[in-house]
């Protein structure tokens, strides 16, 4: 069975091409749920509502999770609550970006 850690590790390979960092470190992944049957649901957001790379990033998230052993289905849900802020990034990334 797939684990939450495996899902997060897979999502770390998905980059925000405009910022150049992965979606996990940016704090764009709000929740990961996995059913006993292997169905994975992810709540994710974007750095802005008008992000032109949003559709591509959401598809990449879906694709990397789908490849994990034990995954039977994937649903990546785009959410806007809470609204993303730079404070949601990992501390190391905030420091690197001067936040």
Question: Furthest-apart CA pair in the chain: how many Å?
Answer: 43
Domain boundaries, the chain: 4-84
Alpha-carbon distance of 92 to 41, in angstroms, equals: 27
Express each pLDDT in 20-66 by its tens digit: 899 999 999 999 999 999 999 999 999 998 889 999 999 999 999 99
On whether the pTM is more than 0.85, the answer is yes
Quote the tokens at residue 25. Answer: 């470190």
Q: Does residue 58 sit in helix, strand or coil?
A: helix
Alpha-carbon distance of 25 to 75, in angstroms, equals: 21
Q: Does domain 4-84 have CATH number 3.30.300.130?
A: yes
């Amino acid at each position: 069975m797939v684990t939450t850690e495996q899902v997060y590790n897979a999502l770390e390979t998905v980059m925000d091409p405009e910022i150049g960092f992965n979606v996990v470190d940016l704090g764009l992944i709000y929740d990961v749920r996995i059913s006993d049957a292997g169905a994975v649901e992810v709540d994710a957001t974007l750095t802005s509502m008008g992000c032109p790379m949003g559709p591509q990033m959401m598809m990449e998230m879906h694709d990397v999770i789908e490849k994990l052993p034990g995954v039977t289905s994937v649903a990546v849900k785009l959410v806007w609550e809470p609204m993303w802020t730079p404070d949601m990034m990992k501390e190391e990334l905030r420091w690197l970006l001067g936040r």
